[in-house]
Structure 1
């Protein structure tokens, strides 16, 4: 007689990589859409007279939209299901990306970029929840972390596409913005074939449908989990109740402290390199592409380290090293020394590879620390908070850079990473080798129905 196993005990298979691809579209498009605007803005500013405020609005519009999309999409995916919204989002992204080509007014572009942000923000929590709920326990951290790597693939790809599209001349910025429609259309058709999450179905009392999906994917001798999903009503405020509030604050704070400088620096890398003296021709765009491609190097060792040594050390120490790297860049700029292009790129790479590596926790912690009925809501809330803080930073970044210079900018960003180091040191939990039920039951009060079920199960065993 074959031993009955759970979804979390199953080995990696072709199916898991398919789910990774379906979910990874969110991260890829997020990175691509945010990255392509950096090159497009640089071209657009030479043709259209725009104030620093309007430039900042275009740069931050997508991030502001992600605040709305994250808050709304995360809650809706816990309420209505993972699959439906996941498909609709890609269709809307393809349509809006196409409309950007025809815009003639900067404020029209602000509106379209905001809508794109809403759709991407709604997509993020669904992607994380689906990947989490289908992942094997021993590979969950690396699979979720890999999604963050696809953000950098999208981001680096946008700079390469933007660089090669410069040959289109004055209209190149239109083609750059249109290009995001291509991956959106591909993902729309791919996602039509994906299954709904069995954990979500069981959490809503639809156990027969959940078991049918599990058996179809894994076979008859596989069950969803050892701890049964209890039917619980999704309520937004639950992310602050029953011990969840501590984790909500932790995730929102550490994530914000990482992405605010990442988005601020990343959106204006061409301008920053220009202030270092590399504004000749298109070298600043090529340098940006090289920097973001090499950032990916930092991802791969972390996919191993997070499973080998755990979540805490792979978040704490990169925060500190990123802080020191940016402060070093600031000191180099302040000294007035004529820094070489290669040396500047190397310093960016030291910062970027570690920043990329610890970025895997943006997907791991919010999806492991919360139960099924609020997993999407918590991820969406965290995404929303981090994007609105990033939007504010991106809005004021051009003026800060213009008024205070490169060195002060790097000092400020380095300080944020150091605060992140302290937050991670005192608050980051360890969830390595835990099942989803165990990880989401840490620090929960006895009033949480999910925790009550888990405690009863442990007692019976």
Structure 2
């Protein structure tokens, strides 16, 4: 093979730098899963110690998600102007500091405010992390790398359950150690992120071609070039997400994301309480079993992302989840074993399809507004999941478990309809083609109608 032959960035071979960027982004998702998971166990101690009402339980449980909404929206938009790398580092400065100060929170309000700050940092990282990896990754590996976020997030979530369970032995103040423990992975990621390069695609969008070329040659390969080295001439803004060419994909990404994460976070943030209410858990065993299934499902999701079309995987998963959650809503309380089997199946597929929340948004938007698009989809999902997490303990208390599960089933049905109507197919396209950067690309062309998609 001719070593001097130029290769486009989208077709570059995977190298150590790609693995490093993936690792730094994966580490962030591990931290995210840990932070959002540990609060569920900490609340079992916080509720009696601080005498929290269902309202305050919902606020504490959803506060990081509220911050995620704000951070994804604001920091994602800012990164399209000042660059990905600055937010890539700043977000973890905020997460590390706020995680540490949770140890000194004396009341629920202080805890809510600190976790909102943590969420803002996580939201900013969601926007730029997915974007950075998408903009550096070759298309052959992009789906696997972006889809792997869910696996690492799940490992973080499960790790929080295991560590939280053992920290319970430290007594009533164990919740302080649970929450502050998230500062450890956050600090490690922060240190490792210092010195990472700016996204060359973002530099090109700002007309800084020489800088972009130098970064590509230094980190990706001396014979690698940008897919398109023409500066983007239009002045894209946040409102561009709702232009005629982009509004359909913007609405799709927001809605499918929301419809997946509302039941995910509502159910798994309060998993111990839900299992007890359903009569499925008298010890840590069932909880640990379902957490293990979350990990298996996340890994299975990577295989499905490789093997099947994005669109087909999403639609079939929504249908399956709607059916299984409906069954959980109507089954009698004495059908314990059958309920565990169905809950396990629901957990497996929910974890698997969650891989796509890292894939679709990053592949759907042009470079000049990619972080804004990913940020908007993430922020809407986190707003929805925050509302769902806030309302869940109140709904269970006032209405009961069955009506609450039926309401979450309705959310999944909406996701099914939206996906059938609007889900694109981006699997076999370059990042420019998938996002509509190329002149002949539009959302309708992304629906599988020809041999370029799988």
TM-score by length of 1: 0.91
Which segments of 5 or more consecutive residues in structure 2 lack a partner in the other structure?
A: 446-454
Q: Using a 3 Å threshold, how does the CA distance of structure 1 residues 278 and 426 change in structure 2: closer, same or farther?
A: closer
SS in 1 for 2:171: helix
Match of 1:455 in 2: none
CA drift of 1:331 comes to: 2.3
Match of 2:334 in 1: 337
Greater shift after overlay, 151-160 or 251-260?
Answer: 151-160
Match of 2:290 in 1: 291
Greater shift after overlay, 45-54 or 248-257?
Answer: 45-54
CA drift of 1:299 comes to: 2.5
Deviations 1:370-400 (A, max 9, x none): 0100000001111111111111111111111
- Select the residue among 208, 211, 230 that pairs with 1:209: 211
Match of 2:450 in 1: none
Query: What are the within-5 Å matches in structure 2 for residues 29-428 of structure 1?
Result: 29-226=31-228, 228-277=230-279, 280=282, 283-284=283-284, 286-332=285-331, 335-337=332-334, 339-340=336-337, 343-428=338-423
Greater shift after overlay, 408-417 or 34-43?
Answer: 408-417
Q: Using a 3 Å threshold, how does the CA distance of structure 1 residues 366 and 446 change in structure 2: closer, same or farther?
A: closer
TM-score by length of 2: 0.92
Give the conservation status (yes or no) of the 8 Å contact 1:202–1:231: no
Distance in 2 of aligned mates of 1:439 and 1:320: 25
SS in 1 for 2:173: helix
Give the conservation status (yes or no) of the 8 Å contact 1:100–1:112: yes
Aligned length: 442
CA drift of 1:442 comes to: 8.0
CA drift of 1:124 comes to: 0.4
Distance in 2 of aligned mates of 1:85 and 1:219: 25
Across the aligned residues of Structure 1 and Structure 2, the Cα RMSD in angstroms comes to 2.2
Distance in 1 of aligned mates of 2:247 and 2:437: 12
CA drift of 1:218 comes to: 2.9
Which segments of 5 or more consecutive residues in structure 1 lack a partner in the other structure?
A: 452-461
Deviations 1:321-344 (A, max 9, x none): 111111222222xx231514xx54
Distance in 1 of aligned mates of 2:271 and 2:221: 50
SS in 2 for 1:113: helix
Give the conservation status (yes or no) of the 8 Å contact 2:46–2:52: no
Deviations 1:119-175 (A, max 9, x none): 111110100111101111111111100012212111111111111111111111010
Q: Using a 3 Å threshold, how does the CA distance of structure 1 residues 443 and 425 change in structure 2: closer, same or farther?
A: farther
Q: Using a 3 Å threshold, how does the CA distance of structure 1 residues 313 and 56 change in structure 2: closer, same or farther?
A: same
Give the conservation status (yes or no) of the 8 Å contact 1:139–1:307: no
